[in-house]
Structure 1
Amino acid sequence: MLDALFSQSPVGLHVYDRELRLVRVNTAARLMRGFPVDRLLGRTLPEILRSFDITDHAAVERAAHRVLETGVPEPDLIIRFRDRRVPPVETVASVSAFRLQRADGTVLGLAAALTDVTARVRAEAEVRLQNEAAARIGTTLDIFRTAAEFCEVVSPALADTVTVDVYDVVLGGRAPTADAADRDQTVRRVGYRSAAGPDQQGVPAVGEVDVYPPGTPYRTVLDTLAPKLIRRLRPDAHWLEPRRRRDARILDAAVHSMLLLPIRARGVVLGLACFYRWREPAPFDHRHLRLAEQLTTHAGQCLDNARLYGRERSAARVLSGGFAQAQASVVTAVELARTHLPAGTGGGWSDAIALSGSRVALVAGDTTSGTSRPAAMSELRAAIEALADLDLAPDEILQRLHDLAGRPSTRPHTDEPDAGDDPPAGDDPPATCLCLVYDPVSRLCTAASAGHPSPVLVHPGGAVELLDVAAGPPLGQGLAEYALTQRVLPEGSTLLICNTALLIAAGGREPLLSRLTDLFAEPHPSLQAACDTCADALAPEQPPRDAYLLLARTRTLDDSQTKAWTFPNTPESAGQARRRVMDQLTEWGLAQDVIDDTALVVSELVTNSVRYAKGPIQLRLIRDGSLVCEVTDDSSASPHLRRALDTDENGRGLFITAHLTQRWGVRPSGRGKTLWAARTLVAPPASGRAPATEK
């Protein structure tokens, strides 16, 4: 057994006498990497330990003396040591020591069983480092913070110094291609960490830009996208130029080994990660290169998530109507003011869409997190604008949006993150929408809601009430059942529209109404000032989701800007309508060509109603920035434009209308329809009345 133990055992065995002098080793110990047994026989344990670079040789000596004195074995003592070769080779051994003694208890010495666990310890360390990277890198969606987290994980565990540089365009959300010819070579330092200390600054410093010179390994790696291992960096390397700040720092620090890796994700080249060793004497090898590639790949995914998030957030802020201080705009029907509180989540938006007959559609909503909030927001807003252009009622618009939201997305994916890479969505609500149409002639407000908070009505005197709009299901969920809510608004009243995020920040519906009552008790210098004051009071701190507040002060078109008549359904009505219109336009002082063209258009539209309708015909003129003619009848059939042949006796009414006006269309009107046509006036008159004091 002794013969097998010293000649065949795979476990290294050292035998020490009572003075801890090495007296014998077995074959396995002689084969242990980096342990020159022949020249160490006869030396004491302290001499042997000091001949290697061992982290804490005093602890090993204390453990050996403890085993000799007490006889209690010391199992699995991990020892790291390096030999004196250049470059040094590190070996990790698991040592179990036990006392040797005769049957009568006489102490003879100490035996130590050594097992080379270098490969196992390195593998465990790599796994721990990868797990740490997965847990610590990418905790935020900020490029600089993500790069800093990567550097903190890598240094000093793998490299003495690590740097992260990205193309400058990446910070703007752009995606450089893999083709070197299509990439701007300007890079910006976004991450740096050194074993020299947290106060040490890199060259260039974080936030500064730089350009990699041609012929350097940095430029080569970015051009070829192939990682590079520089096992031994010689100070006289041809690409090192002491006059360059970066190279001078490398020479001053005595860097002896480097790893250069391109940062890529989803086919996008983001930049370069550089690993340096100058304190750790062991150079990088291919094992380190593989580990660095794995860590850099994960960091690249996180950096690209941050890039996409920054791009999406910028788009969301633009699509949501700008930044926190939105400028008030004036349309015929309402005066608008808007305040947007962006939290970076995207999704919240509001719009004002001009409709026929000087009406306005106020639409607002929140989109779900999904694959891309800004993209979903833009699609939803485009769909609403298209549906509003058809002059559909608010409930019909929501019904069609509900159908669109329930369909699977067909939008092509480009460089969007995979589902597993999206930021956590949390418990985001589904897509909601409020659609409200206001007519400045009749002061009628018509609204429908898809799970969106109801608007608040502020009376001219400052009284506040909830305009209770029946809420249907969110878009794409449940049955598309949306009810219309109609209300004639007082002249000069203000509609206040906000999303759920602002409602929650205010504490709910009742606290919201109470706060608004106090806020509108005093006049404000402008509608925008009132909007900003309300937003600050309702949400003193930034809500966790994008919040917005839209104020719309209603205007009214009075008798000086509108005129209406009702005619019987007889052939003579066309001539009567023509004369009435010419007289009214003359009274308004419009040009003769406008009078003649409008009279012809009205004659054609009334004739069309006489031909296809049965009941009385209503004619209305509206004069604001344009001149609008509206003819309403009880026929639900919608006319369409067609080209009449030279031999046809009729069929030219809409063709003439389309040529004499800028826009025309048809909208449902009760049990019938309204056919309208609009012509732009050269000198638009002042818009409708507005109250002298804001409330």
Structure 2
Amino acid sequence: MGGSTAGAAEGSQATADVATAVLDAEGTVLRWSRTAEELLGRTADEVCGRPVRELFAERPAGATADTRVLATGGRALLRHRSGDPVDVTYRVLRLQPATEDLMLFAPTQRVIDWEQGAHVLAGLLTQDRIAFRVHDAHLNVVLTNIPSAASGAGPVLHPVAGTPGQTSAQGAEAAALRRVLETGVPLVGEYLGTTARIPERGEVSLSAFRTGCVQGTPAGVVALYLDTVGQQRVRRDLALLHRTATRIGGSLDVVRVVRDLADILVPAFGDLAWVDLADAVPSGDEPPRLAGGGELHMHRAAVAAAGDAPWPAHLLQPGQPAPPVPSSATLRAVQEGRAVLLDREVVADVLGNDESLVRLFVPEDGHSGVWAPLFARGLVLGNITVWRTDQPDPYDERDADLLAEIASLAALSVDNARRYTRERRSVLALQQRLLPPPAGDQPAAETAGLYLPAGEGAEISGDWYDVVPLPSFRLALVVGDVAGHGLYATATMGRLRTAVRTLADLELDPVELLTHLDDGVQQLTRETDPDTPVGATCLYAVHDPVTGRCVLASAGHPPPVVVRPDGTTEVIDVVPGPPLGVGGMPFETAAVDLEPGSVLALYTDGLIERPDGDLDSGVRWLADSLAELCGPGRSLDEAGRALMSRLGDAAPRDDAALLLARVRAIPADDMAHWQFAADPAAAAQARQAVAEQLAAWDLEEMAFTTELIVSELFTNAVRYAGGPVGLRLIRGGALVCEITDPSNTQPRLRRARWTDEGGRGLFLVAQLSARWGCRYGRHGKTIWAEQPLTPAPVDLASLV
């Protein structure tokens, strides 16, 4: 009967750890398993035929000396061959016929592990928030607490017995489990989303691990599915907050902020949402501080409906003002910055049970809502209202807290956008006031100026243009761009424009004017903060309608474009000098002859900038567009607006200024020119020539004053400058008389004393003309005097 029995080498790993022995009625060992040999280090030949009590290091509780070891079993210490005790848990089973007993024993720690595993499994079977499946090596279900779809038994995660052989894992889930089975790498918390195998669960997370191997082959895989309803809500709330902060935080347009906010909340948070804004907010002003009911001074600024459904007609429509409402505790709570849960009864109470008002604020199927204020710096900028119509779950306090937090983020964005709008409006208004009228009509040219401010997110820059009438019907055209943005750049632009006008009045040539302007900018730089240096580009051009020539110079500015009457275009080749404020380098003059009807375009770089930085292509685009738009029969203002519209709907990142001038020429019949020797007697000849010319122009009524002006200026030229002396009359919107001499001496106006015999010449000229002045050329100077064609009466007595 002796000899060992084969163990469970080919069985499961659990049963392989259980040692067995067969005992007779006197407790003698009849058979001894191989597991028992490994546990105690004793072979079957050593144990079989001997009493089993010799294997115990001490007598187990309940054992007798002369009969069977135990009635059931327990815990004991066995003696290893080495003499060391082995702690085991054993059990004795009666065999039939009752002449033999089967003793099962295993290390106590292993038995404890088995018991804990059994408890864990039993606990899993009773869970309704944790589902599990035990799969074999072929991913067939061998144990689960998830009912099959066909059984329809109990709740979703109600414990049921699994059906061996039922294949459950499919798709992405099966691929994940197979990966765990093959690699042995556990899977922790992978979100699967909605799955038909765990019905009515919005989302579950999968964790899986491989079970032990037998002879190198994995036994299977255990999959745990956690019901993450709470985690879903937390993740949803965090995602909604993140989406809100990301989407509305980068906009500086009030209306766009609230529209994005409404779109974010639907359908993620509700089925219908609207945002009301205080009337003052979109224009950048602060809303009034209100408490209680009455006129709220708000309007509906943005709405959103789930599924792109049309906005219900019975609700307050976008753009409509909010009606007066009675005072209530709920209204005051919102005005104090708190979110409030809504239903039809609450709204009816707030609105004094006025059914006509209730219909404006409650959707027909709305069963639950939340109302939260846009509250910032103690001001109620507006409010957000969200309703659920199709979504079944009512809002709770957590939802109210979430909307309050979203409203707080939105309020900061709305307030930032409001304050930006106010500052931008102020700067833009200042800049528009500093610019000349957009359209002008001068004898030298028809002009039109346009200014396009930068778009959202970009501050107003210092772009400007100007048209400065000069004597003798000449016209100065100016365009410039101050570096930097905001109010500082606008103020600098105003100072530069004033400086250009002052220097232009001195009738300096373009190079000399830019040189003086550059000195002025350097002085401004020395006076300002070193961290905010002053810099600008400028193009200054002077068109003379008498000669048809335009002379210009550039301080780092893009070249102008000319559109000829025949439609051809030309980019004027002007060498750009350094930007204003750099100093140390000269400016250069360029000249171009312009036929009457030609259009000269001056602009800033914001008009030609391209995303790729290729300014040359921008200039070509400008030239082609001007050739198409500046036809002879089209007004320059209309052409300029059409050109600006071609920039596209996207708001420009930089300001753009455009000045168009359709040049004219003074007809030859409206000019007369003479040259005389430096002889006092020639003054009479000059007066005679002027009188005859005025008679030819039907301006005899101007002969007296004009002859007097010519006589005084001619006499001064002969006396102080020498000859030859040039005389020119120009008829346009006024009558201009010019005397040219070779001297560069500056004439001075002074009031002569009554005893002086002379010194009254320029004084008389100043009194008889509307304005007078002096300009210098390369050879001498020209003194000019301008009179209106309809002269005012002259009090000769006042001239004495």
TM range (shorter): 0.5 to 0.7
Deviation at 1:533, TM superposition (A): 11
Residue matched to 1:443: 548
| Stretch deviating more after TM superposition (396-405 or 524-533) | 524-533
Report whether the alignment pairs 1:588 with 2:697. Answer: yes
One-letter amino acid of the counterpart of residue 444, structure 2 = A
* Counterpart among 278, 302, 326 of residue 191 in structure 1: 302
Deviation at 1:358, TM superposition (A): 0.8
Report whether the alignment pairs 1:132 with 2:132. Answer: no
* Counterpart among 318, 336, 361 of residue 249 in structure 1: 361
Residue matched to 2:39: none
SS class of match (1:332) = coil
The separation in 1 between residues aligned to 2:159 and 2:690, in whole angstroms, is: 112
* Counterpart among 493, 513, 517 of residue 397 in structure 1: 513
One-letter amino acid of the counterpart of residue 132, structure 1 = R
Contact 1:143 1:307 in 2 (8 A): no
Deviation at 1:661, TM superposition (A): 2.3
The change in CA–CA distance for 1:236 and 1:477 in structure 2 (over 3 A counts) is: same
SS class of match (1:556) = coil
Residue matched to 2:404: 289
Residue matched to 1:474: 579
What are structure 1's unaligned runs of at least 5 residues? 1-13, 24-44, 48-56, 79-92, 99-109, 412-418, 420-429, 684-695
The separation in 1 between residues aligned to 2:644 and 2:402, in whole angstroms, is: 59
Residue matched to 2:445: 334
The change in CA–CA distance for 1:599 and 1:297 in structure 2 (over 3 A counts) is: same
Residue matched to 2:417: 302
Residue matched to 2:316: 204
CA-to-aligned-CA distance 1:184-210 (integer Å, 9 cap, x gap): 965442222356865445832223344
Contact 2:550 2:594 in 1 (8 A): no
The separation in 2 between residues aligned to 1:238 and 1:536, in whole angstroms, is: 54
Report whether the alignment pairs 1:526 with 2:633. Answer: yes
Residue matched to 1:144: 255
Residue matched to 1:492: 596
* Counterpart among 275, 300, 307 of residue 164 in structure 1: 275
The change in CA–CA distance for 1:557 and 1:194 in structure 2 (over 3 A counts) is: same
Contact 1:338 1:528 in 2 (8 A): no
Contact 2:373 2:380 in 1 (8 A): no
Deviation at 1:296, TM superposition (A): 1.7
The separation in 2 between residues aligned to 1:95 and 1:530, in whole angstroms, is: 68
Report whether the alignment pairs 1:230 with 2:343. Answer: no
Deviation at 1:137, TM superposition (A): 1.5
One-letter amino acid of the counterpart of residue 788, structure 2 = T
Deviation at 1:529, TM superposition (A): 8.7
The change in CA–CA distance for 1:507 and 1:445 in structure 2 (over 3 A counts) is: closer
The change in CA–CA distance for 1:380 and 1:74 in structure 2 (over 3 A counts) is: same
- TM-score normalised according to structure 2 size: 0.57
- Taking CA–CA contacts closer than 8 Å with sequence separation of 6 or more, which of the two structures ends up with the larger relative contact order? 1
Report whether the alignment pairs 1:354 with 2:469. Answer: yes
Query: Greater CA radius of gyration, 1 or 2?
Result: 2
SS class of match (1:562) = strand
The separation in 1 between residues aligned to 2:495 and 2:722, in whole angstroms, is: 41
Deviation at 1:447, TM superposition (A): 1.0
One-letter amino acid of the counterpart of residue 391, structure 1 = E
Residue matched to 1:693: none
SS class of match (2:362) = helix
How many residues in Structure 1 have an aligned counterpart in Structure 2? 588
Contact 1:399 1:480 in 2 (8 A): no
The separation in 2 between residues aligned to 1:458 and 1:196, in whole angstroms, is: 53
Contact 1:619 1:630 in 2 (8 A): yes
The separation in 2 between residues aligned to 1:656 and 1:533, in whole angstroms, is: 45
One-letter amino acid of the counterpart of residue 667, structure 2 = L
SS class of match (2:317) = coil
The change in CA–CA distance for 1:519 and 1:300 in structure 2 (over 3 A counts) is: closer
The change in CA–CA distance for 1:467 and 1:309 in structure 2 (over 3 A counts) is: same
The alignment-based identity, stated in percent, is: 30
* Counterpart among 656, 660, 663 of residue 550 in structure 1: 660
Deviation at 1:357, TM superposition (A): 0.5
SS class of match (2:736) = strand
SS class of match (2:486) = coil
SS class of match (1:147) = helix
CA-to-aligned-CA distance 1:204-244 (integer Å, 9 cap, x gap): 2223344554647898699x7x4244357735525445344
Contact 2:348 2:358 in 1 (8 A): no
Deviation at 1:669, TM superposition (A): 2.7
What are structure 2's unaligned runs of at least 5 residues? 1-118, 129-144, 148-154, 169-179, 192-203, 210-221, 792-800
Contact 1:531 1:549 in 2 (8 A): no
Report whether the alignment pairs 1:625 with 2:733. Answer: yes
Residue matched to 2:478: 363
The change in CA–CA distance for 1:255 and 1:494 in structure 2 (over 3 A counts) is: same
Deviation at 1:332, TM superposition (A): 1.6
One-letter amino acid of the counterpart of residue 581, structure 1 = V
Residue matched to 1:259: 372
One-letter amino acid of the counterpart of residue 166, structure 1 = L
Computed over aligned residues only, the root mean square deviation of the Cα atoms, in angstroms, reads 5.9
Deviation at 1:632, TM superposition (A): 3.2
SS class of match (2:706) = helix
